[in-house]
Structure 1
Amino acid sequence: MSGPQISITYCTQCNWLLRATWMASELLSTFGTELGSVILVPGTGGVFFIEVDGQRIWERKRDGGFPDAAALKRLVRDQALPEWNLGHGDRANS
């Protein structure tokens, strides 16, 4: 597999599977084959975090909730695909 490996760890007790799958879908729709993989990792105890190649880019407890789609895409782009143009979703950083 080439390309960055994304993992989304979510709490099964909190019923965050739908949120995790939505975020995975957003990343796959945006970055497509540039990504090596997007995996969902079930956890417990209120965990929700996102990693790119083992580097944690978002943690619900640390970062105060969940990222919206635009923020998540910027975080993944900045960590893994810095040359990627997010188009109109990138205006917040311009």
Structure 2
Amino acid sequence: MTADARRVEIEYCTRCRWLPRAAWLAQELLTTFEQELTELALRPGTGGVFVVRVGDEVVWDRREQGFPEPTAVKQAVRDRVAPGKPLGHSEK
């Protein structure tokens, strides 16, 4: 697995003021995957964007799936960077 495959990017709309939501989700991911991720980037965007990528793969897009619950994003990230890692009570 390359380092880029363990890089997460959260692109958020600056006009919509979604930085706090993106930062909170980033904190959740960094806390859960502190050993597995090599980098987590917050990327400012516009046009109502809220997209989570692992490497080059989109794992969550607000336009298609609505705003994510942290558990759903954690599961999507886990499936790509640490398959089999238990997520504890948040998975039940």
TM-score between the two structures when normalised by the length of structure 1: 0.89
Equivalent position to 2:19, from 17, 24, 32:
17
Q: For structure 1, which segment, 76-85 or 44-53, has the greater mean C-alpha deviation from structure 2 after superposition? A: 76-85
Conserved? CA contact 2:10–2:50, under 8 Å: yes
2:70 corresponds to:
69
Are positions 1:89 and 2:84 aligned together? no
1:37 corresponds to:
39
How many angstroms apart in 1 are the aligned matches of 2:10 and 2:27? Answer: 11
Aligned pair count reads 90
How many angstroms apart in 2 are the aligned matches of 1:62 and 1:9? Answer: 15
Q: Which runs of 5+ in 1 are unaligned?
A: none
TM-score between the two structures when normalised by the length of structure 2: 0.90
How many angstroms apart in 2 are the aligned matches of 1:33 and 1:78? Answer: 15
Deviation per residue, 1:4-39 (Å, 9 max, x gap):
000000000000000000000000011102101110
Task: Give, as a single letter, the amino acid of the residue that structure 1 aligns with 2:26.
Answer: A
Superposition RMSD on alpha carbons, in Å?
1.4
Q: Which runs of 5+ in 2 are unaligned?
A: none
What is the percentage of aligned positions where both structures have the same residue? 46
Runs of 4+ in structure 1 deviating by more than 2 angstroms, as ranges, are none
How many angstroms apart in 1 are the aligned matches of 2:89 and 2:82? Answer: 17
Are positions 1:55 and 2:57 aligned together? yes
How many angstroms apart in 1 are the aligned matches of 2:89 and 2:32? Answer: 12
How many angstroms apart in 1 are the aligned matches of 2:39 and 2:84? Answer: 19
How many angstroms apart in 2 are the aligned matches of 1:66 and 1:81? Answer: 23
